[in-house]
Chain A
Amino acid sequence: QQQVKQSPQSLIVQKGGISIINCAYENTAFDYFPWYQQFPGKGPALLIAIRPDVSEKKEGRFTISFNKSAKQFSLHIMDSQPGDSATYFCAAVGYIPTFGRGTSLIVHP
């Protein structure tokens, strides 16, 4: 049973554009929502994370928006760059971490 649904599976944007990746969860026991970035041949690296008591968190070009009532959260990458091309995973953490299936982002120069 997939407890964290991530979409889209793949995303292509132009340099300078906005990349948006969405995640939805079911278990209300989740209490911490990190996003990870993974390059080919590397392990995931923590990008940004949010707690459900805030609706938005911004770090540089990366912003998480969180909607607790809808049980949804999203990652926005502003001014997307070719170096942002990677696979992005959302996760929801309660008792144990649960990851989404990932979004492959390609940013064209």
Chain B
Amino acid sequence: DAGVTQSPTHLIKTRGQQVTLRCSPKSGHDTVSWYQQALGQGPQFIFQYYEEEERQRGNFPDRFSGHQFPNYSSELNVNALLLGDSALYLCASSPTRGYNSPLHFGNGTRLTVT
């Protein structure tokens, strides 16, 4: 049973470009959340998707957007990249959208903006 899978593993982009990161949730999970983890910091909540709609959002600008597909997989899009967007982007899935539903994280996509 595959866990949460993310692609690509690593990515290098230039300031001002746009990037799309992808996530497949753990089998049986219908809720996907995205987190940004800067070096030496804890994960910061970006947003949560359930039933193909954004349900909750953290303190991130509109440059960060997402999508969830009917098969529950998800994409994170970041426009007009800034140097400060360099981080590990983590996708987490959960069996329900309840606040205490256990999160299962992927291994992340390391994004470097130069």
* Residues of chain A having any CB pair with chain B under 8 Å: 4, 6, 31-32, 34, 36, 41-46, 49, 51, 89, 91, 93-102
Q: How far is the CA of A100 from the CA of B41 in the complex (A)?
A: 8
B45 touches A98 (CB 8 A): yes
Given contacts A96-B45, A97-B45, contact A46 B103 (CB under 8 A): yes
Q: How far is the CA of A97 from the CA of B37 in the complex (A)?
A: 13
Q: How far is the CA of A6 from the CA of B104 in the complex (A)?
A: 22
B43 touches A99 (CB 8 A): yes
Indicate whether B72 reaches chain A with its CB closer than 8 angstroms.
no
A102 touches B40 (CB 8 A): yes
7 more A-B contacts (CB under 8 A) besides A6-B42, A95-B99? A43-B106, A44-B43, A91-B42, A94-B99, A96-B48, A97-B99, A102-B42
Task: Specify which chain A residues have a CB less than 8 angstroms from the CB of B33 in the assembled complex.
Answer: 97
Indicate whether B50 reaches chain A with its CB closer than 8 angstroms.
no
- Write the nearest CB–CB distance from A23 to chain B, whole angstroms: 11
A99 touches B44 (CB 8 A): yes
Residue of A with least CB distance to B43: A99
Given contacts A34-B102, A43-B105, A43-B106, contact A101 B41 (CB under 8 A): yes
Task: Specify which chain B residues have a CB less than 8 angstroms from the CB of A46 in the assembled complex.
Answer: 102-104
